[in-house]
Amino acid sequence: MPERTNRQWVLRARPEGMVDSSSFELREVPVPALSDGQVLAQTMYLSFDPTQRAWMAMETYMPIVPLGEPMRAGGIAQVIESKHPKFKPGDIINYLCGWQEYFIFEPDGENLVPPTKLPGHLDPALLLALSLTGLTAYFGLLEVGEPKAGETVLVSGAAGATGSIAGQIAKLKGCRVIGIAGGPEKCAWLTNEAHFDAAIDYKNENVGERLDVLCPKGVDVFFDNVGGEILDEVLLRVALRARIVLCGAISDYNTPEDERYGIKNYTSLIINRGTARGFIIIDYLGRALEGLLNLNKWVEDGKVIQEIDMQHGFDQIPATLTRLFTGKNLGKQLLKVSDAPLPLRTSAIEQAVFKIMTAYMGWRRG
């Protein structure tokens, strides 16, 4: 077999301010031969998420990405060669593929996130969209926000991958849902397609004034992806025993540390006996199957819309990341690297087991 060449986008420099393509460099390296216990996979889809900006610049819940190494990213790939008994050519996996066309992993070695085999009969792009941001919305809203029917749930970054799913789950739970997004197109999508009760265009409307009109009794649950001034405005308008879900702070990710917005109205949490709690999705990875099965069922039943902003082509990878921070994307930002190089592995038994597990997880969640 001729030697394969692996194209990679490696981290060339740590970003200062707004992340752009200058932080990355294209590199071509040979794909080495497999050793016992290793698996070779080819990347099909890549996920783009705001947390990648933090991975580039600092130690977080994940180690900082080393300079000269492929940029870290979750993705969907297909196994094309294997010297491990649990993985076979044709298997579809969810893994931290990185910005590269091929990668080798060791299932029994140390992995930041373990490789997960996915059912071959499901849409891999949908599963990737649901596997990180979908799960973040699922567990963040239900476990941290604890919404109750009739409550008012507010979501910032509501037209993004996480916020759009969080708001739709809140609707499923019988809540009144308001989204904050940038621009009339996104706000129209929230009310017309995702069926939010109302939307606030922070680019063209005064957020505080709109909240006074739309939330006269206050906000019971705030799912926050933005932080900064919007979080401060909401703090002034929380209801008694409100819960604030601190999911992200994208407004400050590209801002120098000494210029970041300082929260001023946190004492409102004391007055209203509210709580603000941060969380990271890795805290819930042990329950990922529950979330994925329920989310996929809701999508299949038409109860939740998973909007996907799909870009195409390996050369477009760096530019696709910047879309997250310039407001160009609607829904989950993905990029297709390649089609599946091999026929998909699936079976009637696998599909039957999947249906049984879906029914069970739905019953357990209620």
| Range scoring the smallest mean pLDDT among 236-240, 319-323, 345-349 | 345-349
Does the pTM of the predicted model rise above 0.75? yes
Confidence of residue 141 (pLDDT cuts 50, 70, 90): very high
Paired tokens of 183: 């621009």
The arithmetic mean of pLDDT across residues 256-283, rounded, is: 90
pLDDT score for 119: 82
333/49 Cα distance (integer angstroms): 7
The arithmetic mean of pLDDT across residues 173-180, rounded, is: 98
Question: Which residues lie across from 11 on neighbouring strands?
Answer: 24
The arithmetic mean of pLDDT across residues 139-159, rounded, is: 97
CB-based contact 75:85 (threshold 8 Å) = no
pLDDT score for 259: 79
CB-based contact 171:177 (threshold 8 Å) = yes
What's the burial of 84, exposed, middle or buried (CB within 10 Å: 0-12/13-18/19+)? middle
Question: What are the extents of the domains in the chain?
Answer: 5-128+305-365, 130-282
pLDDT score for 50: 87
What secondary structure, in 3-state letters, does 244-261 show?
A: EEECCCHHHCCCCHHHCC
Distances (CA, A) of 110 to 105, 106, 113, 312: 9, 8, 9, 31
161/309 Cα distance (integer angstroms): 9
Confidence of residue 203 (pLDDT cuts 50, 70, 90): very high
| pLDDT at residue 361 is higher than 80 | no
pLDDT score for 18: 87
| pLDDT at residue 310 is higher than 60 | yes
| pLDDT at residue 1 is higher than 60 | no
Q: Quote the CATH superfamily of domain 5-128+305-365.
A: Medium-chain alcohol dehydrogenases, catalytic domain (3.90.180.10)
Paired tokens of 163: 């916020």
Q: Quote the CATH superfamily of domain 130-282.
A: NAD(P)-binding Rossmann-like Domain (3.40.50.720)
What secondary structure, in 3-state letters, does 58-89 show?
A: CCCCCCCCCCCCECCCCEEEEEEEECCCCCCC
273/261 Cα distance (integer angstroms): 24
Each residue's pLDDT tens digit, 21-75: 999 999 999 999 999 999 999 999 999 998 899 899 888 888 999 999 999 999 9
